[in-house]
Each structure stands twice: as C-alpha cells, then as structure tokens.
Amino acid sequence: MTTGRRIAITGTVQGVGFRPWIYRLARELGVAGQVHNDARGVVIEAFAPERVLETFVGRIGREAPGRVRDLFWDPIERDPVTPEFTIDTSLAEGAVALSIPPDLTTCDDCLAEMRDPANRRYRYPFTNCTFCGPRFTIALDLPYDRPATTMAGFPLCPDCLAEYRDPADRRFHAQPIACPVCGPKLRLTPPGSGDALDDAAALLRDGAIVAIKGLGGFHLACDATSPEAVAELRARKHRDRKPFAIMVADLAAARRIAILDDAAAALLTGPDRPITLLERRYDAGLAPEVSPETPLVGLFLPYTPLHHLLLAAVGRPLVMTSGNLSDEPIVVDDDDDRLTPLCDAVLGHDRPIATRCDDSVARIIAGAPMILRRSRGFVPRPIALRHRVLHPVLAVGAHLKNTFCLAHGDSAYLGPHVGDLDTVLASEFFAEAIERMERLVHVRPEIVVHDLHPDYHSTRYALERGGVTHVGAQHHHAHVAAVIAEHGLAGPVLGLAWDGTGLGSDGASWGGELLLASDGGFERLATLRPIALPGGDAAVRDVWRIALALLDDAYDGDAPLDRLALFDTIAPGDVRVTRQMIAKDINSPRVHGIGRLFDGIGALGLRHHRSHHEGQVAMAWNHAADGPGTYPIAIDRTGAIAQLDHRPLVRAVVGDLLAGVNPAVIAARFHRALVHGGAALVRDAIAKVGVHPIALAGGCFQNPLLTEGLCAELRDLEVHVPRAVPPGDGGLALGQVLIGATVTKGSAAACV
C-alpha cells in the first residue's frame, strides 16, 4: 500500500547536489513525488510503500551530500500527482535558513577533466560541478538557483544544458556550471601576446607582481623564491614585516617547505583549504622576506581550477596575499583603480563576485585545528545554537579583526572576515556585508548588540540603527559567551578571557579576566594587576614604554635601566618624561591586558622598541620560547577581586637578563609562569564557586604554549577551547549574539 510523507530537511543542503542525489535515490527505490528547495532548506513529498519510505528516509540521513542538520516528516493523505519523481521549482518566502555551503574546493573529477587534452574543459579555469566550485561568493539571493547567482549572465550552451538536465550526470542541476563556449573567460590587463594564463605565468616567473581574481576577491601574487619580488610587493602593499601567505601546488610541495604532522596535513588538504600556519624549513628556498621574524609560514593549497593551472604553469611557490593595501578591504572588481599601483598586471575575468571573502587562517593547537580567521571555506556555514533565538539578532563585533553575526531561529551566521574598521572603505564593506547577509537570510534584526566601547565604528553603526533594541555587551563576557555558544554549553562556566584590551563595565580596560559567566551575565572573579600605558595608544606601538611601566611598578621606580640593553638607544629625556607621566598618572591609563604584559616583557627580552603591527612583539616572544624552568607569579587576594601579580615575574626576568640567560629560555619561563598563574586563578575560583566547565577565550589563546599549557595544567577538569570560531575578536560577534538573545524586545538596553 502506497503512503506519503512530507520530509523537511535543514542544514547545508543547497548547492551541494542534494536535490539531484535525492532524485537518483528516489528513482532507484521506486519512490514517486517531488523535491524542491524552499526558504529553510529542502522539502520532499515522497510516495511509496511504508518499508520503502523507511529505507528512503534512512539513507537520506546516512548518505546524503552536504550536512543534514534536522530531518522532520509528516504524513501526506493524498495520492501522488504523477507516478514519477521530479525536481520542482524552488520556493522562497519569509525568513530563511541559509542552507548553501561555502565555496567548495575543486573536486578530483573536475581536475581530471581539466587536465585531459581530449576533454572539452581541458585547461578551462572555471570548471566545476555539483560537488565543487563557487557558492556563497556568487549567491545573490536564496533559494540557491542559477538565476539568483552571478552566473545568471552566462546562458548555458547546448552541451552544458544537456548535462544540467541529465539525472545521471555529475552536473545535474549544478548551478554554476560552464565551459569554454558559454562560461566566464580570463583576461590579462595589459594584454600579452597569447593565452592570458600563460602570459601571467611568464610574468610571475620573471619577477612581476600579478593581481589574480579568485573566488572572493583578488590576490596579489609573486614568486615566493625571489627576494626582489617579495620586497617589491611589501613596498607596494605598505606591509613592512607581517608574514605573507604562500600557495603551493600540492602536499608534496608543502612538505618541502614546512614540517607537517598528520593533523596539519589533513587541515591543509581538507575541503576548507585555509591558510595553515606551520613550522617552516629554512632550507626550502623561500625568500627570507616572506615571513621575517617568525619560524612559521602560512601555506595553503589551490582551491580553484585557476590556481591549479597557474601553479603548474609557474612551477614555483607563489606569494598569495589579499589584493589590497594593508587595512583596506580586498578588491573584487577588475577595473578597481586601487589595483593599479599594487601590481604589474591584472589576471581577471568576467564572472562578478557578489560577496567579498578573504582566505581563512587556521593552526593546529592542542592537537586539533583552531580557526584564527573565519572566512572563505567556512562562511556561511551556521553555528547551531543550543536555544532558539526568539527575535532576530545582529551582533556587530569589535573594531579590530571585525566579523559580524546574524542569528535567527536556532542558527547563527558569522559573516566573512571584514578586518580592522580604521578606514572609510573598511567601514563601507562592513555595512555592505551586513546588508547582504540580511538579504540572503530574509530577516531584519530586532536586537542589535555592540561592544561597550563608544568609539568603535561598529558601536556607532549599531546605535545608528533605529527601530531595534540596542544591547551593549562587555567585551570579555562576549569572548567567553562565544565559547559557550560554539560548544553548546549550558553555563555557567569559568571563563579565562585573556587578550590585549577591551572596555570593562567599570570603565577601565580589561584583558586578563577570570569570569563566572553564562549567556545572561557574568561575575568578575579575578584580573591581572594593572599596567600603566604612558601615552595611551602610543605605548601599544612604542612598547619600550610598557616595559618601563612594568619595571617601575616592580622596582618602585628604582629599576636598573642602565644595565638593560633595551634602553641603550632610548633618549634619556624620553625615559625621564615617560617616568614622570607614569608617576603622576598623566595620560597613562591603567590596563589589565595579558597582551600588554606580553608586549612589555617581549620588548625587554628581544630588545624591541616598537611594534609595527598588532601582536608583532607578543608573537615574536612566543616564537622565541625554548628552554626549561619557570618564574614566580603571585596572586594578590587582598582586594575586592583577586589579581594576578606580575611583579615577581618582572624581577625574575630582569635577573636572568642581567645574568646573560638566553632570551629563548626567558621566554619559555615567562610562558610557564602565566600558565601556572592562570591555572591557580581557576583553582582558587573553584574553591569559592564550585566546579564548572572551563572556557579559554580571547586572542591570547592563539598562542599554543598558553593554550596547550593550560589544557595540561587543568586536564582533570572540563576545558573548552575555541575551534570553529576564532578565539580573538574575529569570534566576538558570536558571543554577542548569545548575550543579545537573552534580551527581549523592549527590555533594558545593556547587559553588562
């Protein structure tokens, strides 16, 4: 007896060949009915004997492509319209579940076709199929069908149309498919003498800089083995020391450049293809200018046919860095005049990019991947929320490393990496990306969550939006809430929130916090002893000022500066004025940031006077660490909340410096002292408030020595580390969403 079921499926189920797969399964099992995309995912009306339907539903749950999150079904009382199974027109109304996947790495079958001289897609740089190719970056609207993508302007030729309509073909209902006859085409500007790709490869081999249009924007590429080419790229991009990412042809090439274990190799070759931070080999032939001052190199493998073709044609590793001036959004248009001073030629094409999407960055920490920048390959994959959001929430993130988050129902969608909101162009991209995500999800937020800092551009943007409830979320509470959200924790948790600085609910700058936190609130249990920043933000750049503040605090103004090499080249007048600023509390705000402690001690140990980019000294101090031992660090329990007292540590560091101890040993001892101090704070808190899960949150936990050390020290407890969401400000918006979701429309406009 034939029965019917209406099956609703949510998850990443559009743009992955889900409907064609369902079609083939239905035909195989003899199921009648139809399948279509709708606003939340995929809907199937299926008719067959009950035992066949049981098999049909079971195989969908086990075998379907993409990521099935939820599968629900209800009985259908009527008979099937036809005895066949069909793919029907997509429907869209109301709020949607953003069910398309991120852009998908080129599959092996498409690569094989592209490399086969007998295939009609031989060397075609836009080859794709149901299982690979552009998705999010070409989507204009949902449901995900060709007319709602930037491929709408490329009508299918008869051969491609036949593939698209053939249920037995790998390209059945593949929305972005194309071929040399009907699809996008490369173009080199200025044009060369022949094939655009071959001419671009020749330019790269000759030391030129070429802008290359990828999935989510342009890369600036040059020969990574040429010191001259890399130095020229640094000069044009205005990027003095920050490392460049390197694209290599395959895993074998990656092994020649970096040291890979199985976990790193799996991350490097996985479908997401992030830039992966690895320990470099110094005999690999890379130009030293690629990653100065660090033993790490950021490697990634080709993820589009164009990348594969280009790497093969050049025959060398290529620098592939974002196509922009430092601190500006990545360029997406071929005719953007910002590219002109940055490169010698532009390898573009006529397929428009709907959404900017930079490359993601990841690293293996504590035995598993940690996403440090979440963008291409991961966006717009949703984070499942433990509780449904009653009113749509927009969280606007921080000022640096900005990423926003839009949540409705039980899903939170982190947007692509925006970056620092210091320029007009970055601020425009930020607003544009939010508007596009709202359009894709078909919702308008009713709650908008922002950081407490009034001068953040993201805060100003949030407060300018009318007709919504505005919620201010404390920075470190949001960091901890992001871990709660990612891991689906019930709370409360003991959250160790360590970063540079973030505005506290008392108006001071926090950054070395231990919080007892849930999504709805927090209690501050402990912090770092405050550090003076003479000159305010100037001290974050001129890090010798922070070192001086730490020394004067630890030695009551009588530190042996004349015996410390850091101060040999600092003008005595500058030292004198800075000490007076500290002593008289003139433009010397006190901050509690662990990141500032790294800056000050790193400046002492490495003799660095200045930080040229955010985190430079802290990262160099981490990379330097190698050796036995630890330093004392105290806990001051005399105040209202406990303080991690760094003064004994500072005095021990100075003692070792004066004794001529290797800076690598000093750095290692410094890291262990912080690990022991952090663990001691946690155990002190447990004695007072009981055992709770531990959350490590904040940008300092991108440092593997801290994260792995604390995981080891607290191995008898339940410790949660950020994995799918960055621990730093790039993940802040997810925590803001959780905080905002506790506020119903019309309630108080702050949650601190």
Domain residue extents for the chain: 2-87, 186-350, 371-473+728-751, 526-720
Q: How many residues does this entry show for the chain?
A: 752
CA angle 310/315/316 to nearest 5° reads 100
The pLDDT assigned to 97 comes to 57
What average pLDDT does range 117-129 have in this prediction? 97
Q: How confident is the model at residue 357 (pLDDT cuts 50, 70, 90)?
A: very high
Q: What's residue 644's pLDDT?
A: 98
User: DSSP class of residue 357?
Assistant: -
CATH topology of domain 371-473+728-751: Nucleotidyltransferase; domain 5 (3.30.420)
Residue indicated by tokens 């994260």: 707
From the options 3.40.50.920, 3.40.50.720, 3.90.870.10, 3.30.70.141, give the CATH code of 186-350.
3.90.870.10
**What does the pLDDT read at residue 745?**
38
Is 80 exceeded by the pLDDT of residue 454? yes
What pLDDT digit, counting tens, does each position of 550-598 carry? 999 999 989 999 999 999 999 999 999 999 999 999 999 999 999 999 9
Which neighbouring-strand residues pair with 364? 369
Q: Does residue 64 surpass a pLDDT of 70?
A: yes
**For residue range 661-673, what is the model confidence (pLDDT) as tens digits?**
999 999 999 999 9
For range 537-561, the mean pLDDT: 94
In this prediction, residue 98 carries a pLDDT of: 59
Give the tens place of pLDDT for each residue, 469-495. 999 999 999 999 999 999 999 989 999
- Looking at the DSSP bridge assignments, the partners of residue 393 are 407, 447
> Residue 613's pLDDT band (boundaries 50, 70, 90)?
confident
Q: How far apart are CA 163 and CA 110, in angstroms?
A: 14
Nearest one of 160, 98, 85 to 129, comparing CA atoms: 160
C-alpha span between 324 and 337 (Å, rounded)? 11
**What is the reported pLDDT for 15?**
63
608 has pLDDT over 50? yes
Averaged confidence pLDDT in the chain: 92
Mind listing the pLDDT tens digit for each residue in 144-168? Answer: 789 999 999 999 999 999 999 887 8
What interhelical angle do 647-658 and 594-606 show, nearest 10? 10
> Which DSSP state fits 181?
T
- The CATH-assigned architecture of domain 2-87 is 2-Layer Sandwich (3.30)
Per cent of the chain over pLDDT 70 is 97
When comparing pLDDT for 75 and 525, which is higher? 525
Note the Cα 185 to chain centre separation in Å. Answer: 30
d(Cα 41, Cα 143) in Å, to the nearest integer? 8
CA distances from 197 to 124, 184, 305 (A): 10, 14, 12
Closest CA to 92 of 443, 405, 392, 447: 443
3-state secondary structure of 436: helix
Residues with Cβ within 8 Å of residue 566, at least 6 apart in sequence = 544, 547, 603, 604, 607, 608, 609
Question: Would you report the helix, strand and coil content of the chain in percent, each value rounded to 5?
Answer: 35, 25, 40
pTM of the complete model: 0.90
**Amino acid 750: pLDDT:** 37
Q: Is a pLDDT exceeding 60 seen at residue 93?
A: no
Collapsed DSSP state (helix, strand, coil) of residue 302? coil
Do 371-473+728-751 and 526-720 have matching folds? yes
What 8-state DSSP symbol labels residue 80? P
Using a 10 angstrom Cβ sphere, with 0-12 exposed, 13-18 middle and 19 or more buried, the burial of residue 136 is buried
Q: Which residues pair with 72 in a beta bridge?
A: 8
Determine how β-strand 67-76 pairs with β-strand 2-12: antiparallel
Tokens (6 digits) for 132: 């690979």
Residue with token string 């032939």:
285
What are φ and ψ of residue 548, in 5° steps? -65, -40
Beta bridge partners of 49: 2
Closest CA to 128 of 98, 144, 151: 151
Whether the pLDDT of residue 69 is over 90: the answer is no
CA dihedral defined by 598, 603, 606, 610, rounded to 10 degrees? 120
Predicted confidence (pLDDT) per residue in 252-290, tens digit: 999 999 999 999 999 999 989 999 999 999 888 999 999
Beta-carbon contacts of residue 690 (< 8 Å; ≥ 6 apart): none
pLDDT number for residue 746: 38
CATH 3.40.50.1110 fits 526-720, yes or no: no
User: How many angstroms separate the Cα of 747 from the Cα of each of 449, 467, 517?
Assistant: 13, 13, 21
β-bridge partners, 383? 412
**Amino acid type, 636:** D
What pLDDT, on a 0 to 100 scale, did the predictor assign at position 748?
36
Question: So what's the pLDDT on residue 747?
Answer: 40
CB 173 within 8 A of CB 164: yes
Mean pLDDT for 438-464 is 94
- Take residue 501 and report the two structure tokens written for it: 């600085």
